Amino acid sequence: MTEITNASADMRGGPDLVVRMEGVNKWYAAFHALKDIDLSVTRGERIVICGPSGSGKSTLIRCINQLETIQKGKIVVDGHDLTAGGKNVDIVRQETGMVFQQFNLFPHMTVLENCTLAPMKVRGISKAEAEKTARTYLERVRIPEQAEKYPAQLSGGQQQRVAIARALCMNPKIMLFDEPTSALDPEMVKEVLDTMIDLAREGMTMLCVTHEMGFARQVADRVIFMDRGEILETGTPSEFFGNPQNERLKTFLGQIS
Amino acid sequence: MPLIRPFGLPEFWIIVMAAQWTIALSAIAFAGGGIGGLLIALLRVSDAKWPRLIATAFIRVFQGTPLLMQLFLVFFGMNIIGLAINPWLAAAVALTLHASAFLGEIWRGCIEAVPPGQREAATALGIRYYNRMRYVVLPQASRIAVAPTVGFLVQLIKGTSLAAIIGFTELTRQGQIINNATFSPFMVFGTVAAIYFVLCWPLSVLARRMELKFSRATAR
């Protein structure tokens, strides 16, 4: 396994805080989905969040670009206080890329159109320039030849790589991954993970909800375990997998390995 | 000229020509209902509570009352607020409101049939409401909407026949007039029905074709 150094993180402006969550609480009606979450992420840090289903891990990262709103607490992303509302939410969404379990590519647009829509409509970049950027990122996720196709014509792994390229076209400061490989056939998991590993090597700040523990070991700076809406344990991969403290984490690790 | 004349070719052509008013009324109601329906549908899927409530109330009123009563209420209502009695205007307004409510409800369903992940993906990319609707949600919803929309247009064309009762001379009313002169009700209303069929049937075929085409195009 390759060790990824943190050196590239410094190129992106030093280890300042990119995400700061303080006392975050969220309820779905009576269901307490997030309980007093405190989490700080520094620039260039790669974080893997795991836990049983329904533990709140997806909800947690969806709060960072406010796909979910919180009822209590504070979230600051790259200096923009989401809880203060207003323009901050728009700014944060523009600076945060997200990759979903179900890809969520726009089925009525070609791969290239999927990648150029947001840069053109949100950033006001010209079509020619947006397409140039899109082709660069499609090259990086190794599917430049699929640019003119529609999502339905691609395999799941290819679709997910397009989704990653689409997010990167907005030149985000943070990438959020919400179980990016869970909907994929086993033989396609690796191609998506390899793309994510490349991204990690380049120093992207990443928060990944995933069950891929091999990826966590190889890439993560910190692994977080959540259950029933709480963060129960945080540690480097070697601490986390080698010497877990929490009983529920021990049970969880026993079940997945 | 005898009091009762036979039903012949001239009478037949008078009825056929009256179809233009049925088509004109349908076209106005469909165009007006298209604009109103889009507005109602968008209000109906709004995040804010009041627009949603107002649109829902509008839809419920028009779905829960007969089209004939809607025509009467607009026709006589216009008189009460001081406008001259005008069957043309009353029929156009009533059918436009009627079509707005029904198309609004049909299109709301189509907008909600677009998977929520589509909206989320657009939102996560920083795309705001207007562009999200325009480029991501509505193009997908419109594909789903084609068949039920054409289906409603067929209902609307047939519904314009009720405008005969408030004295608007379209296909059905012209039939009644000719029948009063010829007293051959089976021939007259057979002709009227046949013309409605000729107008509506190709639309039904078209709706089915488009449904097939779009279901192939959007197969995931």
| Closest chain B residue by Cα to residue A91 | B126
pLDDT digits 0-9 by tens, A182-220 = 999 999 999 999 999 999 999 999 999 999 999 999 999
User: In whole angstroms, what is the distance from residue A197 CA to residue A204 CA?
Assistant: 10
Per the CB < 8 A criterion, the answer to whether A228 and A56 are in contact is yes
pLDDT digits 0-9 by tens, A2-53 = 444 444 434 444 458 899 999 999 999 999 999 999 999 999 999 999 999 9
Q: How much is the pLDDT for A134?
A: 97
Q: How much is the pLDDT for B2?
A: 64
Domains of chain B as residue ranges with CATH: 9-212 (1.10.3720.10)
The pLDDT confidence band at residue B85, using thresholds 50, 70 and 90, is confident
Q: Taking phi first (over 0 means left), then psi (-120 to 50 degrees means alpha), and beta for anything else, what does residue B8 get? A: beta
The answer to whether the Cβ–Cβ distance between A108 and B127 falls below 8 Å is no
Q: How much is the pLDDT for B79?
A: 84
User: In whole angstroms, what is the distance from residue A217 CA to residue B95 CA?
Assistant: 66
pLDDT digits 0-9 by tens, A119-136 = 999 999 999 999 999 999
User: In whole angstroms, what is the distance from residue B146 CA to residue A28 CA?
Assistant: 36
Q: Which residues of B touch A166 (CB under 8 A)?
A: 125
Per the CB < 8 A criterion, the answer to whether A136 and A147 are in contact is no
DSSP β-bridge partners for residue B207: none
User: How many beta-carbon pairs under 8 angstroms link A with B?
Assistant: 67
For A33, phi and psi rounded to 5 degrees? -80, -35
Q: How much is the pLDDT for A14?
A: 44
pLDDT digits 0-9 by tens, A38-93 = 999 999 999 999 999 989 999 999 999 999 999 999 999 999 999 887 899 999 99
In angstroms, the Cα distances linking A204 to A7, A19, A34, A45, B55 are: 12, 13, 26, 7, 45
User: In whole angstroms, what is the distance from residue A188 CA to residue B193 CA?
Assistant: 60
Mean pLDDT across B133-155: 93
The answer to whether the Cβ–Cβ distance between A90 and B126 falls below 8 Å is yes
Q: Taking phi first (over 0 means left), then psi (-120 to 50 degrees means alpha), and beta for anything else, what does residue A85 get? A: left
Q: Which residues of A touch B125 (CB under 8 A)?
A: 93-94, 97, 117-118, 122, 166-167, 170
In angstroms, the Cα distances linking A237 to A65, A107, A179 are: 26, 38, 18
Q: Taking the CA atoms of chain A, what radius of gyration do you get in angstroms?
A: 18
Residue B59 has pLDDT above 60, yes or no: yes
The pLDDT confidence band at residue A162, using thresholds 50, 70 and 90, is very high
Q: How much is the pLDDT for B47?
A: 85
The pLDDT confidence band at residue B82, using thresholds 50, 70 and 90, is confident
Q: Which residues of B touch A170 (CB under 8 A)?
A: 125-126
| Closest chain B residue by Cα to residue A93 | B126
In angstroms, what separates the C-alpha of B45 from chain A's closest C-alpha?
17
Q: Which residues of B touch A108 (CB under 8 A)?
A: 139-140, 143, 218
Burial of residue A12 (CB within 10 Å: 0-12, 13-18, 19+) is middle
User: In whole angstroms, what is the distance from residue B160 CA to residue B172 CA?
Assistant: 9
Q: Please indicate, yes or no, whether the overall pTM of this predicted structure exceeds 0.80.
A: yes
CB distance from A152 to chain B under 8 Å? yes
CB distance from A120 to chain B under 8 Å? no
In angstroms, what separates the C-alpha of A180 from chain B's closest C-alpha?
13
Q: Which residues contact B93 (CB under 8 A, 6 or more apart)?
A: B74, B78
**Given the structure tokens 């049909």, which residue do they identify?**
B106
For A66, phi and psi rounded to 5 degrees? 55, 40
Per the CB < 8 A criterion, the answer to whether A93 and A78 are in contact is no
Say if strands A230-235 and A222-227 run parallel, antiparallel, or are unpaired: antiparallel
Q: How much is the pLDDT for A3?
A: 46
HEC secondary structure over A168-219: HCCCCCEEEEECCCCCCCHHHHHHHHHHHHHHHHCCCEEEEECCCHHHHHHH
What is the number of helices (H) and of strands (E) in chain A? 10, 10
Residues 25-84 in A contacting B (C-alpha not used; CB under 8 Å): 65, 67
